Amino acid sequence: MKDFSRGVDTVTAAELKKIQLERLKILLKDVNDKIPFYTRSFEEKKINVDKFSSIADLQHLPFTTKSVLRDNYPFSLFAVPLSDVLELHASSGTTGKLTVVGYTRKDIALWSEVMARSLACAGVVRGDVIQNAYGYGLFTGGLGVHYGALELGATVIPVSAGGTKRQLMLMEDFKSTVLTCTPSYALFMAEEAKDTGVDVSRMKLKVGIFGAEPWTEGMREQIEKEWNMLALDIYGLSEIIGPGVAMECAGKNGLHIWADHFLPEVINPATGEAVDEGEEGELVITTLTKEALPLVRYRTGDIVSLNTERCENCGRTMPRISKIKGRIDDMLIIRGVNVFPSQIETVLMNIPEVAPHYQIIVTREKHLDKMEVLVEVVEEIFSDEVRKLEELEKKVVSEIESTLGISVSVKLVEPRSIERSIGKAKRVVDQRQ
């Protein structure tokens, strides 16, 4: 079994920079030669890829946005002929047009490697049984984790998403030790287990690797409590490779990004300029070693901060991104104030009585934005006394208002009246315009 806990994961900052620069130089020549979009955009900006001499030069290169991928639908951005592409994945966008990604044999090997490093980072070893409840299919979650498990030499159950009763049965009978799925599905399964009288204390789970949607520390605590396991965050996006771009270790203090393959930058989304280390901004990634779909300065739309210090928990030197604070495109602008759904979730999680099921409804009345938060009245918070429910409403309102600085109304709703998700949670309903 390969040891993924050492080697490149612990190189010095100088060594990492050297690897990155070497790879970056090759990448830029490659995309300039092979991808018409980059040939054109480098020409427009008068960028001579042969003169590229330091990572700092990266800031002069143009960004690649998601719309570039859509405009080049389906294969025009590929750097290799389709015959070299072994696997295609696609994700649906809000505009309806798909974002298509392709993998050569070398790309699949890369994906396997970074995903294996991610699993190892979470403490997964050979002998572990991974219940992979990410969807298998066009979505990269299922197969990405699968490849990593094979590379690492762990046992993988390709159960895919859904079929909660069967998930619980397999978990018990196959003695799964690792659960991989979206965090909201982990909570959903815990709820199902309770309802159907399945005793989760008999499960052997030691760690859950959760991603594909932003989640908060409150949700982590909830999952760890319900399942009695460690809950760690994984980050990835299909444009870059899929899951396995960055992974938390048990220190739970940021996600190690595999920067020898994925070069991170954090920028101010409005100006495009780099922000200082530790400051929040949009994560931008350059893929250093991909063949089929290399991307230069790809704007992920995810809000993070960066930390390049050596990890005090695991000793890895790979830089860490914070948990995703929100998405540029999820960001709600309510009466001119930027609001991330995750901020509201954090507030709700800090009120012990409130369950994690909530929904934000944004409407516009007489040109004024109104935000309403629906909170489910679960048994634990329901009281026969109106006074206590009113106090709870007031508490939620005042805590959200003091965090966001805008007014909000809270509506208590019946349990299970907010739509549950197997995939990604629908936390926001924007009814404006």
Partner 1 sequence: MAIMQLSVFLENRLGRLNDVLSVLGRNGINIRALSLADKASYGILRLIVSDSAAGTAVLKEEDVSVNSTAVVAAEVDDEPGGLQKIVGILLENGLNIEYMYAFVEKSGDKAVVVLRVEDTDKAEKVLKQKNVKLLGEREVASI
Site size for partner 1 (CB under 8 A): 18
Q: Which of 55, 98, 413, 422 binds partner 1 (CB under 8 A)?
A: 413
The stretch near partner 1 (CB under 8 A) out of 127-135, 360-368, 385-393, 424-432 is 385-393
- CB atoms near residue 206 (< 10 Å): 17
Structure tokens at 20: 């990155």
Q: Which of 389, 397, 406, 422 binds partner 1 (CB under 8 A)?
A: 389
Interaction of residue 361 with partner 1, rule CB under 8 A? no
Choose between 336 and 352: whose C-beta lies nearer to partner 1: 352
Q: Which of 337, 364, 415, 424 binds partner 1 (CB under 8 A)?
A: 415
Query: H or E stretch including 70?
Result: helix 66-71
Structure tokens at 415: 């349990």
Interaction of residue 414 with partner 1, rule CB under 8 A? yes
Interaction of residue 383 with partner 1, rule CB under 8 A? yes
Choose between 116 and 193: whose C-beta lies nearer to partner 1: 193
Site for partner 1 in 249-288 (CB under 8 A): none
Using CA atoms, how far apart are residues 178 and 180, in angstroms rounded to an integer?
7
Interaction of residue 384 with partner 1, rule CB under 8 A? yes
Choose between 95 and 383: whose C-beta lies nearer to partner 1: 383
Computed from CA positions of residues 309, 314, 318, 319, in that sequence, does the dihedral angle turn out positive or negative? negative
Q: Which of 53, 273, 379, 402 binds partner 1 (CB under 8 A)?
A: 379
Interaction of residue 309 with partner 1, rule CB under 8 A? no
> DSSP readout, 365-421?
ETTEEEEEEEEE--TTT--S-HHHHHHHHHHHHHHHHHHHSS--EEEEE-TT-SPP-
The closest alpha carbon to 302, from 245, 351, 252, belongs to 245
Q: Say which residue the tokens 């805590």 belong to.
A: 399
Choose between 273 and 379: whose C-beta lies nearer to partner 1: 379
> 206 — alpha (psi -120 to 50), left (phi > 0) or beta?
alpha
Choose between 77 and 375: whose C-beta lies nearer to partner 1: 375
CB of 318 to partner 1, least distance (A): 45
CB of 374 to partner 1, least distance (A): 10
- Estimate the share of the chain in helix, then strand, then coil, as percent rounded to the nearest 5: 35, 25, 40
| Binding region for partner 1 (CB under 8 A) | 377-379, 382-387, 389-390, 411-417
